Structure formats: C-alpha cells, structure tokens
Amino acid sequence: MKRLVTSLRSAVIAFAILAAGQWVWGALLTANLKTSSSIPWSMPVMGAFLYAMWRFLSRTPERREQLRAYPVSRDRAIWTFVTGAFAIAALSGLWIVLFQLIPMTPNALPDPSKYSTVMILGAAIMGSLVSPITEEAAFRGYCQSALERVMPGAAAVVISSILFTLAHLTHGLFWPKLLVYFLFGLLMGALAYVNQSILPGIPVHCVADFVFFTMVWPYDGARDGSWFRIHVAQAAICGVLAILAFQRLTKSYNTSGGPRCAYSLPINSSSPAGTD
C-alpha cells in the first residue's frame, strides 16, 4: 500500500513540476511568435522563470534531498556524458529506422520559413533547456528519489520511465515513438540512480533535445530510405558503445556496494549524496 501511495504521489508531483515549466514556456513562446517573429524576448524571461523554479525546488534541505541536484566527481560527469552521447546517437538512429518502417505523424514543429534565424535558434536552445531541467527535476529528481525509498532502484527507474513516456503522449499515440521515449527514460533514470544526482544527466538531456529538434524531427517526413542500413548500424553500434560506457561509469558503484543515497544518511543530514 505504501508503494502505491508513494507512486501516485510522486506521479502527481512530477506532472505538476513538468506542467509548470512546459505551460509557461508554451505560453511565452506563443506570445513571442505572435507579437514579434524576429526578437526572441521570451528566452530571457523563460530563463528567469527556470532559475526561480529551480530555487523553489531546492530551497529547503528536504527539497534539496528530493531534487538531489548534487555535484559528482569529474570522472563520473565525463563518463555520464560519454554514455549519454552514444545513447543519443543510438536512439536517434532507432527513431529514424522505426519512422521508415512504420507510418507515423511527424512531431509538430514551427515552420522555420516564417521566422528569423535568431528566433528559430533561440527557441531551439531554450526548448533544449526547458524540457531537460523540468523533466529531470520532475521524473528523476522528485519522483524517482521518492520511489527509491520504498522499492528497489530498478523498479523505481522503470516506473519513472513509464511516467516520462506518458508525458510524451502529446507527440502522438504511436508505439515506436513511445518506445524511444521509454528507452531514453531508462537511460536517464539509470544515470540518476548510479550518480544519485540529476546534475550530470541534464547536459545529456539538453544535447538529446537539441539533436532531435534540429537534426531528426524536422526531416521525419522527407527521408527516402537511402541511408536505412547506415541508421540501423548507427543504432546497433552506438547502442553497444553506450552500454560499455555505462559499465565503465558503474565501476565505482559496483566496488562500493551501491550508490550512496541521501535517504541512507541520518534523517536530519543534508549532506550531498553520490559525490566521490
């Protein structure tokens, strides 16, 4: 019963955090595009909102423990990024392969011909910050850290990944899309669990969104399949390399008997977890 209550409560909190960031960004970008298609004034405004939201989510020791935005060693940060880079290449290849095998509606993106280069680039950059910050805080921070208190880490990662996938139903009810989102959720959840911090995963998520915003989604409806085998190889080879890099990342995890969790410390402690 406790696990069910925790899961439901964590889901509500995660979606509330996500909605706060996504709805504000959506409203600001829509207003920006309607009032000025050349000056990206919504970007600094959204940047200030993200800063305020982050401060709110980490204001007290209890919130900092739920957010678990703790620094990690340089070695862990590097191997987290290497793992993420290979995984992004593998998942983008998988996305392209699935899109060519199964008819799907491309993700809706603004028509770049209607707006200035500065506006399009600014929107892509800010969009690549909004989703990673809000989604990592929501699903791998507040949600997954709470789940890890009442269930095994693997189960917590899977549940947070399912919730992360459900958050992307707005992109269409197509199982290939949802599969890629679920796999990416597993990646980010595993990275957060091993590091006991969401900080090293945020740059990975930012790069992933920027790659998909600029190099994958805009071309989903126009590929002719001539590079199909190359993308199959890309998904397979980079997937293997991502697994090998993740194994290197988890060496310290295996030798220490598991990640040091904030909730394994005395209840009044506010010491960072997951640092080496």
Q: Which of 147, 166, 141, 144 is nearest to 5 (CA)?
A: 147
Give the Cα separation of 132 and 179 in Å (integer).
19
Our CA angle for 31, 202, 97, nearest 5°, is 85
The proportion of the chain whose per-residue pLDDT surpasses 70, expressed as a percent, equals 91
Q: What is the pLDDT of residues 178-229, one digit of tens each?
A: 999 999 999 999 999 999 999 999 999 999 999 999 899 999 988 888 899 9
Reading the block at residue 268, the tokens are 């009044």
For residue 21, the model assigns a pLDDT of: 94
Reading the block at residue 186, the tokens are 């597993």
| Greatest C-alpha distance within the chain | 59
pTM, to two decimals: 0.88
DSSP 218: G
Q: Which of 269, 131, 256 is nearest to 195 (CA)?
A: 256
Report whether 13 contacts 138 (CB < 8 A).
yes
For residue 116, the model assigns a pLDDT of: 83
For residue 266, the model assigns a pLDDT of: 31
Q: Which residue has the higher pLDDT, 242 or 265?
A: 242
Give the Cα separation of 42 and 29 in Å (integer).
6
